[in-house]
Amino acid sequence: MTHPLQIFEAWFVEAQERELNDANACALATVDLDQAGLPRPDVRIVLLKGVGAEGFTFFTNYRSAKGLQLSACPVAALDFHWKSLRRQVRVQGVVARVSESESDEYFATRPRESQLSAWASRQSEPLDDRSTFEARLAEAAELFPGEIPRPAHWGGYRLRPDWIEFWEDRVGRQHHRERFSRVEGGWDMQLLYP
């Protein structure tokens, strides 16, 4: 198997079978521009919600720190670490929003509490007291007693990989690393030193 997304999908299936919690958890690194305009890395854990020929999909509040960073600088990196498998996958590429219909479709599958949070949370902004957030949750629940529509400020992103690296642990730190780089018409694979 030489297509990196097929390799990822096979590894991901194994991770879902063997990882105790959240096999779809990955670190998302974005670029934050400070007040002087200097780039600063910023990283947090997100949950992968889809992978396919177009790339890796995750969802968030567009007004969150990551959302604002992706709007200003639409490149990112993902890192999956599956300790039980002793494997890691690194991905880097360009990020774009998914369609509104795809965001709507995914939002409809979320638990009601998560849907209410999407309305109530001013993600990444300062919060004076937890009771303020809880009051906003109660307001959202009252506003939407039935079906909850997706807020316009919430949706998905897809990272289209420029490269994907597969890392497998080996004895004596003699790890096996393969990096697939996107080239016209497909992918080029290069072995890397441990």
User: What is the percent of the chain with per-residue pLDDT over 90, rounded to a whole number?
Assistant: 96
- What would the pLDDT profile of 27-41 be if each residue is shown by its tens digit? 999 999 988 989 999
Residue type, 169: D
With a cut of 90, say whether residue 2 has pLDDT above it.
no
For 73-96, b where at least 16 C-beta lie within 10 A, e where not — what string?
ebebbbbbbbeebebbbbbbbebe
3-class DSSP state of 90: strand
Domain boundary assignment for the chain: 4-110+150-192
pLDDT band at 84 (very low <50, low <70, confident <90, very high): very high
In this model, does residue 1 exceed pLDDT 70? no
Count of CA atoms in the C-beta half-sphere (13 A) of 143: 14
CB 152 within 8 A of CB 107: no
Q: How far apart are CA 180 and CA 27, in angstroms?
A: 19
Active site residues: 173
Split at pLDDT 50, 70, 90, the class of 20 is: confident
* CATH superfamily of this structure's domain 4-110+150-192: Electron Transport, Fmn-binding Protein; Chain A (2.30.110.10)
Element (H, E) at 76: strand 75-82
State the pLDDT at residue 22.
Answer: 95
pLDDT in tens, 144-178: 999 999 999 999 999 999 999 999 999 999 999 99
